[in-house]
């Protein structure tokens, strides 16, 4: 019985990055031996055990064979005869197919260390093309390590392209896809994730609404980068640079989907794209079963982001409608995230990344003015029910008019 540290823990140690999750593989052991040593079984599909003291996961070395469609279409075989090399060959990338013993002696049968040094994301074996989830995983690793100079090997990109064209991506569950997408959006360079998916044809399959934005022009006066797809990538890049949460990053990705529906004869203008895009944002939200807070913010940002940009020009009544739509009285954080998404949109334009966004503080001030309208005096005047709501609205409108005059 031999125990090896494998995968990401080995990769990140060699890269000099902090090691968080550790995966262990046990070679030459049976389930009975693991149980006898106090390990607790947790794996339903294949033998995985929790260490009796540390609680870390230890998996028996195993092989796998394609037996159906999609991420779950595999049969696994674990036995004491399975070698470490056989276990490692079923992994996705060479940089994830290394192992080390307790003395940090490296086992690297597929040249992962060489690819690590060359900054290449390369598949381990042709079996890579059997698992559609690997398309998303490789794109996510590309986003994570882009800052270190990593790129996807051309032959791996070709296999990803074949997978994208095979229909296998459609077999992925919403839950598995969202797990990879949400993790990728929180990487340092999430725009690389979208770009790699586009390069291999997967974006067209998974998010045709986003893919349709590439090649669609916008007015150069407002968008020096012109291309709507490139603008979307830039907005996503800004959201990562400014450490925005997942809700904001998701909204940034989807905010301009309506521009993909603009008839060519109307280019580069996109009249009412905020409204035409809502059905597309809703469709993407539902396809991946995005969490409720991500869904809500994406729809609100899609509908109102141009209001955010024109905040200083909005009438007091329009400002009030905007604040009411976000329920800023009970959910102030959601409005704060909307402001952040608008600012990322404004900065995600070629050459304008550093410009100021006075609309942000103006909108915060408007929300504060509306929130400070007290209910108690109205209750004391005898207002109740719907009448109280109307009276409160009138007072808030008055407060916003005063705010505009003094701003």
- Residue (of 196, 185, 63) closest to 130 by Cα position: 63
pLDDT at site 301: 98
pLDDT at 74: 53
The pLDDT score that the predictor gives to residue 224 is 94
For helices 359-371 and 332-347, give the axis angle rounded to 10 degrees: 170
Q: Would you call 310 helix, strand, or coil by DSSP?
A: coil
CA atoms of 17 and 24, how far apart (whole Å): 19
Label residue 72 exposed, middle or buried (CB < 10 Å: 0-12, 13-18, 19+): middle
CA dihedral 225, 227, 232, 237 (to 10 degrees): -40
- Please report where in the chains the tokens 């947790």 appear, as a residue: 42
**Between the CA of residue 183 and those of 23, 69, 97, 230, 246, what are the distances in Å?**
19, 24, 21, 21, 9
Domain boundaries, the chain: 1-110, 376-406
Pick the CATH number of 1-110 from 3.20.20.140, 3.30.460.10, 3.40.50.1980, 2.60.40.1150: 3.30.460.10
Instruction: Map tokens 């006075």 to a residue.
Output: 358
- Mean pLDDT by runs of 10 across the 407 residues of the chain is 94 93 93 93 82 92 68 68 94 96 95 98 93 96 97 98 94 96 98 98 98 97 95 98 98 98 96 97 98 98 98 97 96 97 97 96 97 93 92 96 94
**Structure confidence at residue 275 (pLDDT):** 97
The Cα 154–Cα 375 span in angstroms is 64
For the chain, helix, strand, coil in percent to 5 are: 55, 10, 35
Helices (H) and strands (E) in the chain, counts: 20, 11
Report pLDDT for 20: 84
Token readout for 71 is 């991420």
Tell me, what's the pLDDT at 319? 97
**pLDDT at residue 77, rounded to an integer:** 79
Report d(CA 229, CA 151) in Å as an integer: 21
pLDDT of residue 69: 54
What pLDDT score does 169 carry? 94
The whole model's pTM is what? 0.93
């Amino acid at each position: 019985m031999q125990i090896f540290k494998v995968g990401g823990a080995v990769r990140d140690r060699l890269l000099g990055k902090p090691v968080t999750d550790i995966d262990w593989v046990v070679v030459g052991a049976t389930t009975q031996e693991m149980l006898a040593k106090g390990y607790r079984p947790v794996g339903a599909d294949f033998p995985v055990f929790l260490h009796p003291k540390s609680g870390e996961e230890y998996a028996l070395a195993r092989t796998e064979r394609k037996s159906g469609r999609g991420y779950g279409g595999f049969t696994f075989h674990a036995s004491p005869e399975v070698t470490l090399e056989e276990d490692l060959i079923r992994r996705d990338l060479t940089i994830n197919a290394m192992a080390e013993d307790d003395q940090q002696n490296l086992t690297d049968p597929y040249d992962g260390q060489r690819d690590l040094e060359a900054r290449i994301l390369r598949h381990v074996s042709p079996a890579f093309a059997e698992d559609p989830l690997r398309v998303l995983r490789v794109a996510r690793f590309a986003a994570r390590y882009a800052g270190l100079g990593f790129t996807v090997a051309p032959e791996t990109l070709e296999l990803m392209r074949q997978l994208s064209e095979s229909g296998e991506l459609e077999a992925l569950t919403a839950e598995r896809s969202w797990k990879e997408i949400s993790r990728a959006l929180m990487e340092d360079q999430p725009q690389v994730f979208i770009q790699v998916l586009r390069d291999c044809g997967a974006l067209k399959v998974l998010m045709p609404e986003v893919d349709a934005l590439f090649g669609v022009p916008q007015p150069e006066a407002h968008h020096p980068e012109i291309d709507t797809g490139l603008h979307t990538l830039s907005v996503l890049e800004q959201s990562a640079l400014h450490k925005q949460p997942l809700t904001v990053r998701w909204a940034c990705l989807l905010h301009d989907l309506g521009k993909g529906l603009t008839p060519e004869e109307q280019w580069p203008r996109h009249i009412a794209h905020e409204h035409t895009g809502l059905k597309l944002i809703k469709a993407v939200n539902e396809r991946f079963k995005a969490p409720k807070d991500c869904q809500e913010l994406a729809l609100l940002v899609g509908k109102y982001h141009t209001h955010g940009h024109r905040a200083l020009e909005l009438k007091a009544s329009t400002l009030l409608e905007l604040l009411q739509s976000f329920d800023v009285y009970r959910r102030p954080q959601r409005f704060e995230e909307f402001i952040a998404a608008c600012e990322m949109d404004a900065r995600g334009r070629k050459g304008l990344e550093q410009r100021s966004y006075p609309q942000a503080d103006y909108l915060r001030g408007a929300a504060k003015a509306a929130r400070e309208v007290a209910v108690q005096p109205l209750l004391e005047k005898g207002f109740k029910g719907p009448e109280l709501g109307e009276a409160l609205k009138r007072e808030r409108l008055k407060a916003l008019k005063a705010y505009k005059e003094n701003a």
